[in-house]
């Protein structure tokens, strides 16, 4: 049994605890200047897409693959300039929420499975990343570029995926002799050939770019000024336009890779056409040939360390058909002049890497080396293996809600809540009279707690109030009120049976009612948890609201209703059983005579 004395003697302390809790939540609201809940798309307007993975025999896809798909879709959506979109996993499904309206084109592309393509590079050009300019203190003369890379057979033209390049040319070192290598060194000024990893520092990158300018300048315009300020660099005169579709060339010239939103991430490139694309980090742009080899030609890809070294590489295995086309493609590229000796790997509309082909690669195996660390090698291997989206998705549901319908629904939900609350209040007051005030105040406290909790959760845990939540909250007004009823009825029982004083009855009844309330709330909570964990779509939201209000119910009953009644029990109005208190003798009398005896039973002995 409980220790009624402790709570009996200090109801004020418990109420203070509640006050502290409310103040904490309210204070958080004020500090964050957040006073309204964040609304879900069904209330604020927007588009919600549910994508369901298509798997063989309907098995759940592995968690990590799903996570990868989520990241890719997020990149695509953000790449389209929709920065406020949310991509989240819900069970096996992926839910994409795009606020606002008129984003139909974005919706179209998120769920498509773009393919990996291998395209020969026809032309390429460096991009000026404006943010690099200030960091580039031009130090002319300090870097004798001409002598920088004597060993790199393929000229001083920078390696396209400069972020992954390193100082070791592949084929000569490769023990297996298979050499698809992004091994072209970035011309390192010291020409030591050490495996500098330029991607680790922006400074290193800048150096390279500077180097490149020098190289280009040296070739094209013999001015010693190595100023990288040539943002208005004209269409590079040394682009060989033979065989390039003029339309694609035009696109290429118009392409601005400096803006992440314009890099074309997520564009579905047509395998049978030439294509102008950006490097995924925007550092280069390319004109690419038709795709000769596609993602489905790859059997598997894996990341590993070359034996006897610490160098990370990505190994590719082609299927039989892919192997022959791959041999043809590499054979064609290897003899081509720079930059056509490169084969770009295009994924989701952007070039993820474009290694040099150093020799034709028959046999269906290839290695990409150069400047990888474990993560970049693993990432690339996964991209090569899975293509753009590691899973095929079905669009299970797509829902666009206009802001007016959203407002209507919000309004409807709120009106329903107010009516529901009012009905419960009226009923409590009619039935329980004085005690009804306790019920009403308890509901007020519960409402305050719920509102502040929803706002605080909204701004800290990104909880968005949607229609199912509102319904869940309104419905749970009932549960909260049920707890008071159980307690009130117990108090009346105690007073009837034991003829106890009110103050004693409040304590004894509490011990018994508490157990009932806790068991009943536990049942509700189990229901909420099960629904939340297993359900799809709006069900989870509803279950969340149900679980939240069940917890709030317990807080209110323990921290408000009980101590408040204990305090009221000290008042004469209740203790003496005033007819309006809800504890009057007529109600309590066990006398069946029917005479509405107004004689006050001696409650206070």
Partner 1 sequence: MGLGRRLYRGEIDIDFVGRWKLWYSLSGFLLIISIAGLLINGLNLGVEFKGGSVISFKPAVATTVEDVRTTFRDEGVHQAIVQTTNQRYRITSEDLSEATTAKLQQIIKQKYDVKEQIDVQSIGASWGGEVSHKAWIGLGVFMLAIILYLSMAFEPKMALAAIVALVHDLVITAGIYAWSGFEVTPATLLGFLTILGYSLYDAVVVFDMIKEVTAKLGTTSKQTYSMAANNALSHTLIRSLNTSLVAILPVAAILFIGTTLLGAGTLKDLSLALFVGMIVGTYSSLCVATPLLVTLKEREPKYQAIARRVAAASGGGGKKSGKGPKGSENAAVAKG
Specify the pairing of strand 38-39 against strand 464-465: parallel
Q: Which among 230-238, 271-279, 384-392, 485-493 is the span making contact with partner 1, rule CB under 8 A? A: 485-493
Q: Shortest approach of partner 1 to residue 477 CB, angstroms?
A: 5
Identify any residues that bridge with 346 across adjacent strands, giving them in sequence order: 117, 351
- Among 538, 578, 579, 601, the residue binding partner 1 under the rule CB under 8 A is 538
Q: Shortest approach of partner 1 to residue 586 CB, angstroms?
A: 8
Cβ atoms of residues 41 and 47 within 8 Å:
yes
- Among 70, 444, 448, 536, the residue binding partner 1 under the rule CB under 8 A is 536
Give the nearer residue to partner 1 in terms of CB position, either 294 or 529.
529
Give the nearer residue to partner 1 in terms of CB position, either 88 or 534.
534
Mark residues 428-467: x for contact with partner 1 by CB under 8 A, - for none.
Answer: x--x-----------------------------------x
d(CA 571, CA 38): 43
Pick from 486, 491, 493: nearest CA to 507: 491
Query: Is 402 a residue that touches partner 1 (CB under 8 A)?
Result: yes
Cβ atoms of residues 367 and 170 within 8 Å:
yes
Cβ atoms of residues 302 and 315 within 8 Å:
yes
Taking CB atoms within 8 Å and a gap of at least 24, the contacts of 267-270 are 267/109, 267/348, 267/349, 268/109, 268/112, 268/114, 268/349, 269/114, 269/117, 269/346, 269/349
d(CA 382, CA 366): 15
What's the Cα-to-Cα distance from 327 to each of 342, 440, 483, rounded to whole Å?
Answer: 14, 80, 75
Query: Is 478 a residue that touches partner 1 (CB under 8 A)?
Result: yes
- Among 65, 239, 535, 555, the residue binding partner 1 under the rule CB under 8 A is 535
Q: Shortest approach of partner 1 to residue 216 CB, angstroms?
A: 46
Applying the rule CB under 8 A, the residues between 47 and 106 that interact with partner 1 are 50, 52, 91, 93, 101-102, 104
Query: Is 417 a residue that touches partner 1 (CB under 8 A)?
Result: yes
Give the nearer residue to partner 1 in terms of CB position, either 369 or 585.
585
Identify any residues that bridge with 158 across adjacent strands, giving them in sequence order: none
Q: Shortest approach of partner 1 to residue 76 CB, angstroms?
A: 18
- Among 313, 524, 552, 583, the residue binding partner 1 under the rule CB under 8 A is 524
- Among 427, 429, 444, 501, the residue binding partner 1 under the rule CB under 8 A is 427
Query: Is 493 a residue that touches partner 1 (CB under 8 A)?
Result: yes
Residue 52 has, within 13 A of its CA and on its CB side, a CA count of: 12
Q: Shortest approach of partner 1 to residue 291 CB, angstroms?
A: 26
Query: Is 362 a residue that touches partner 1 (CB under 8 A)?
Result: no
- Among 126, 481, 502, 566, the residue binding partner 1 under the rule CB under 8 A is 481
What does DSSP assign to residue 261?
Answer: G
Give the nearer residue to partner 1 in terms of CB position, either 108 or 150.
108
Q: Which among 10-18, 191-199, 306-314, 399-407 is the span making contact with partner 1, rule CB under 8 A? A: 399-407
Give the nearer residue to partner 1 in terms of CB position, either 288 or 486.
486
Please, what is the Cα angle at 22 between 21 and 24, to 5 degrees? 65
Q: Identify the helix (H) or strand (E) that includes residue 298.
A: strand 298-305
Please, what is the Cα angle at 248 between 243 and 251, to 5 degrees? 145
Query: Is 586 a residue that touches partner 1 (CB under 8 A)?
Result: yes
Task: Give the phi and the psi of residue 402 in degrees, each rounded to 5.
Answer: -75, 160
Mark residues 206-245: x for contact with partner 1 by CB under 8 A, - for none.
Answer: ----------------------------------------
Give the nearer residue to partner 1 in terms of CB position, either 336 or 535.
535
DSSP 338-406: TTTTBEEEEETTEEEE-PEE-S---TTEEEEEEEE-HHHHHHHHHHHHH-SSSSEEEEEEEEEE-HHHH
Q: Which among 139-147, 198-206, 360-368, 492-500 is the span making contact with partner 1, rule CB under 8 A? A: 492-500
Q: Which among 207-215, 444-452, 472-480, 555-563 is the span making contact with partner 1, rule CB under 8 A? A: 472-480
- Among 247, 398, 571, 580, the residue binding partner 1 under the rule CB under 8 A is 398
Give the nearer residue to partner 1 in terms of CB position, either 16 or 530.
530
DSSP H helices, 48-143, are 63-79, 104-110
Query: Is 592 a residue that touches partner 1 (CB under 8 A)?
Result: yes
């Amino acid at each position: 049994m409980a220790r009624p004395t402790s709570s009996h003697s200090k109801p004020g302390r418990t109420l203070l605890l509640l006050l502290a809790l409310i103040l904490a939540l309210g204070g958080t609201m004020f500090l964050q200047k957040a006073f309204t809940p964040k609304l879900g798309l069904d209330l604020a307007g927007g588009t919600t897409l549910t994508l369901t993975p298509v798997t063989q025999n309907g098995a759940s896809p592995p968690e990590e693959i799903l996570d990868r798909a989520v990241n890719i879709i997020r990149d695509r959506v953000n790449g389209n300039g929709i920065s406020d979109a949310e991509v989240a996993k819900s069970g096996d499904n992926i839910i994409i929420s795009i606020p606002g309206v008129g984003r139909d084109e974005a919706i179209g592309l998120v769920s498509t499975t773009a393919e990996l393509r291998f395209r020969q590079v026809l032309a390429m050009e460096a991009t000026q990343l404006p943010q690099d300019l200030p960091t580039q203190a031009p130090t002319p003369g300090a870097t004798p570029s001409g002598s920088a890379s004597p060993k790199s057979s393929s000229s001083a033209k920078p390696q396209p995926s400069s972020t992954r390049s390193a100082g070791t040319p592949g084929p000569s070192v490769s023990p297996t002799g298979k050499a698809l290598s992004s091994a072209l060194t970035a011309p390192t000024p010291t020409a030591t050939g050490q495996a500098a990893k330029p991607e680790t520092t922006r400074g290193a990158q800048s150096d390279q770019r500077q180097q490149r300018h020098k190289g280009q300048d040296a070739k094209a315009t013999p001015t010693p000024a190595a100023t990288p300020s040539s943002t208005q660099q004209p269409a590079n005169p040394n682009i060989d336009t033979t065989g390039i579709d003029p339309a694609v060339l035009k696109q290429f010239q118009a392409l601005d890779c400096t803006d992440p939103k314009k890099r074309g991430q997520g564009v579905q490139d047509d395998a049978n056409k030439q294509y102008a694309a950006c490097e995924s980090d925007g550092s280069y742009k390319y004109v690419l040939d038709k795709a000769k080899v596609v993602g489905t030609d790859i059997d598997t890809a894996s990341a590993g360390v070359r034996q006897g070294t610490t160098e990370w590489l990505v190994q590719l295995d082609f299927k039989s058909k892919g192997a022959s086309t791959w041999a043809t493609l590499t054979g064609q590229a290897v003899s081509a002049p720079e930059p056509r000796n490169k084969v770009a790997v295009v994924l989701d509309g952007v070039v993820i890497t474009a290694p040099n082909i150093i020799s034709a690669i028959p046999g269906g195996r290839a290695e990409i080396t150069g400047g990888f660390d474990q993560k970049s090698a693993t990432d690339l291997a996964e991209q090569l293996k899975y293509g753009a989206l590691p899973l095929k998705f079905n669009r299970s549901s797509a829902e666009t809600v206009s802001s007016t319908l959203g407002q209507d629904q919000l309004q409807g939900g709120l009106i329903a809540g107010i009516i529901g609350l009012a009905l419960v209040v009226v009923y409590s007051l009619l039935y329980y009279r004085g005690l009804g005030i306790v019920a009403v105040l308890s509901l007020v406290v519960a409402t305050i707690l719920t509102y502040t909790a929803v706002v605080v959760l909204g701004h800290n845990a990104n909880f968005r109030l949607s229609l199912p939540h509102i319904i869940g909250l309104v419905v749970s007004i009932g549960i909260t009120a049920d707890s008071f009823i159980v307690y009130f009825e117990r108090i009346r029982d105690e007073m009837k049976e034991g003829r106890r004083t009110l103050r004693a009855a409040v304590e004894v009844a509490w011990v018994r009612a508490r157990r009932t309330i806790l068991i009943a709330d536990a049942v509700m909570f189990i229901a909420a948890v099960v629904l939340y964990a297993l359900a799809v779509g709006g069900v989870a939201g509803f279950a969340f609201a149900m679980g939240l209000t069940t917890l709030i119910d317990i807080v209110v009953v323990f921290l408000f209703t009980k101590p408040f009644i204990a305090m009221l029990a000290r008042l004469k109005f209740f203790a003496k059983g005033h007819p309006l208190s809800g504890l009057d003798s007529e109600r309590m009398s066990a006398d069946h005579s029917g005479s509405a005896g107004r004689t006050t039973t001696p409650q206070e002995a």
